[in-house]
Amino acid sequence: MDNVDDLETTPHAALDAAFAATPRELFLPSAAQAEAGEDRPVHLGEGQTCSQPSTVRQMLALLAVPRGARVLDLGSGSGWTTALLAHLVGPQGLVDGVEVRPALVRMGRKNLRAAGVPWARIHSAHPDVLGRPEGAPYQRILVSATTPSLPPALLDQLCDGGRMVIPVGTTMTVVDRAGESFHCRTAGQYRFVPLVVPDGGG
């Protein structure tokens, strides 16, 4: 794997505008809103967290999100990253958030409605399905939970020329697709909750 020193990234001005339009406290449970300004993960319940702002900003920068893109946000949680992505792609784009926890699906949908970004949606994860293959291919995929290795199912959902940012173990990994080839680069060490893979039991 290579490092990301020469990587194209999302412009700072676009990130600043997205964060300004999407206050974190509006995507947290009322009991946790006082923690919104702290640069650390905040618990959402269900064993899940809202990632710390500096980490989210770094991931969105690495994703190099273009206007009008189709984006998959896997592990959408409270909908904060989904809404941030919606501001980055703009109304000509589309963001599909996918969440496995029903309570968080409900929370995320409510928060997205309040955010006024109808080109972003949150879907319940399908049993035994990782991602959202019916919406593929995606130009960008953001994964906000860690996996032990790169999931082939997500690589398949990335379009030619697309990019995925995903924590593999504790290593933030940027994956660029060119045809049937995938170029991986590393971007530092982070801690995330494990990716919950849907199963047919619930």
Other Cβ atoms less than 10 A from the Cβ of 58: the count is: 19
Amino acid at 178: A
Mean pLDDT of 116-126: 96
The reply to whether 51 belongs to the active site is yes
Chain-centroid distance of CA 145 in Å reads: 9
pLDDT-derived band at 90, boundaries 50, 70, 90: very high
pLDDT digits (tens, 9 = 90+) for 21-57: 999 988 887 766 767 778 777 777 766 767 889 999 9
What is the pLDDT, as a whole number, of residue 48?
Answer: 73
pLDDT digits (tens, 9 = 90+) for 143-197: 998 999 999 999 999 999 999 999 999 999 999 999 999 999 999 888 888 887 6
**Which superfamily, per CATH, for 2-33+40-189?**
Vaccinia Virus protein VP39 (3.40.50.150)
Average of per-residue pLDDT values in the chain: 90
What is the pLDDT, as a whole number, of residue 202?
Answer: 38
pLDDT-derived band at 198, boundaries 50, 70, 90: low
Catalytic residue among 51, 76, 78, 144: 51
Exposure of 38 by Cβ count < 10 A (0-12 exposed, 13-18 middle, 19+ buried)?
Answer: exposed
Say if residue 19's pLDDT is above 90: yes
Cβ contact 59:4 at 8 Å: no
